[in-house]
Amino acid sequence: MRPLEEKTLKTERIFTGKVISLQVDDVELPNGNTSKREIVKHPGAVAVIPVTAENKIVMVEQYRKALERTIIEIPAGKLESGEKPVVCAGRELEEETGYECKQMEWLISFYTSPGFADEIIHVYKATGLTKKENPAVADEDEFVNLIEVTLEEAIQLIKEQKIYDAKTAYAVQYLQLQEVLGK
């Protein structure tokens, strides 16, 4: 097998924003030729599958400007510098839903779009939920509607393309598989 690694020859930072940065790398390909790679740098994120004692999934409806529409998602958010993913998961759960949990179980981590971005998302399942009397306040530019749905309702929301993002579709499929396996 031949090596597949691309050697970075030069990096040019194009944009640095609040959430992401964009760079263009000149790379040497495995065959010795050169090419350019446009790369989105992201600090990483968490997503939480909150499940109530009544076996409902707590989700948020949120407007997503990139899509020019609202979608229904599991709570999620960006890691702050130096923040541990499990801490971020608890913070995002509280800020977006007003819930805290007794148990936060790590399920999986995955890259969202490795063809052009380094964003990794860490997925947790939260159980033992209780509503906080004075929850942490959501970000000032974040507006969400809280909804609680059964697994069957979530599957229907996927069919209706109201749930339309990978992390939430993963969450629903994870819970569906757990139900099938009797866990």
Which residues carry out catalysis? 140
Q: For residue 43, which of 91, 90, 87, 78 has the smallest C-alpha distance?
A: 78
How many residues are there in the chain?
Answer: 183
Main-chain dihedrals φ then ψ at residue 86, nearest 5 degrees = -65, -35
Longest distance between any two alpha carbons in the chain, whole Å: 61
Structure tokens at 153: 């309702």
d(CA 59, CA 75) in angstroms, rounded, equals 6
Main-chain dihedrals φ then ψ at residue 176, nearest 5 degrees = -65, -45
Query: Which amino acid would we find at residue 153?
Result: E
Q: In the chain, what is the straight-line distance between the N-terminal and C-terminal CA atoms, in Å?
A: 41
Mutual angle of helices 166-181 and 151-159, in 10-degree steps = 140
